[in-house]
Amino acid sequence: MRFLTIKKKTIVIILSVLITLASVISVAAITTSSMPKPEYTIVIDAGHGGRDGGAIGKNTGVTESELNLMYAKELQSLCEDYGIGVVMTRSDMNGLYDESATNKKKSEMERRKSIINGSGADIMISLHMNAFPLPSSNGAYVFYAKGSEQGLNLAKSVQTSLCQSFDNARQYVSVGDYFVLNYSTMPSVLVECGFLSNPQEEKNLQSKEYCEKFCYSLLAGILAYFEM
């Protein structure tokens, strides 16, 4: 009887050791599989920053640079949740220029270009807010670099996705003569998310829900481009 009890105890110990080992192995497997090297990496470029605030909302005084950053961070978080690697050109309100540079615009552009092209990313998406003298102008616009076939494909993919979620998104894409598009070595798009010169859109763009919906729509366009 005593022998049997010891035997039972031994079996219980062996079993519990085996169960522990199995759970350690499965945790290790989960940890490894949940952190693979991302299949795709993107650069998210929040336009402007520092003393360059970009466009300003007339009613609320909100700056383009703060909204660009808000949208960039939301998109970053959504992309990372989907296992897409992200490189940000900026993650705070500071400008990308060297404080001691005499030509800060040039210094900023060079820094932006070097982050984008040094990232080794698959695509770049630059986020901006629009402004136009006519207050009724509204909706998201997507631009790509002249002559870039893949940039055009990416732009179409993003614009199609935006049109599915936003009635006022522009139905077509355009060539945009922007520094970040012209000097980027990867397929790139510049998204003007909406117009700060339109009172209703100025309000919408600052809402967390609108930002989440917009960035989710951008993500859907990116996923479609990668055929994910």
Give me the residues that bind Zn ion (CB under 5 A), please. Answer: 47, 54, 128
The secondary element (H helix, E strand) that includes residue 141 is: strand 141-144
Of 84 and 125, which has the nearer Cβ to Zn ion? 125
**Beta carbons of 39 and 121 less than 8 angstroms apart:** no
The nearest distance, CB 205 to Zn ion, in angstroms, is 13
The nearest distance, CB 191 to Zn ion, in angstroms, is 10
Cα 98 to Cα 12: distance, rounded to the nearest angstrom: 66
The nearest distance, CB 168 to Zn ion, in angstroms, is 19
Of 91 and 164, which has the nearer Cβ to Zn ion? 91
Kindly list the distances between the CA atom of residue 193 and the CA atoms of 3, 13, 19, 164, in Å, as whole numbers in the listed order.
76, 62, 53, 15
Q: Whose CB is nearest to Zn ion?
A: 128
The long-range contacts involving 49-52, CB below 8 angstroms and separated by at least 24 positions, are 49/90, 49/93, 49/94, 49/95, 49/96, 49/108, 50/93, 50/94, 50/95, 50/96, 50/97, 50/104, 50/108, 51/95, 51/104, 52/95, 52/104, 52/105, 52/108
The nearest distance, CB 36 to Zn ion, in angstroms, is 35
Cα 64 to Cα 67: distance, rounded to the nearest angstrom: 5
The nearest distance, CB 92 to Zn ion, in angstroms, is 17
Of 90 and 128, which has the nearer Cβ to Zn ion? 128
The nearest distance, CB 126 to Zn ion, in angstroms, is 9
Of 54 and 187, which has the nearer Cβ to Zn ion? 54
Of 47 and 95, which has the nearer Cβ to Zn ion? 47
What DSSP state is assigned to residue 171? S
Of 47 and 151, which has the nearer Cβ to Zn ion? 47
Closest CA to 127 of 203, 210, 217, 48: 48
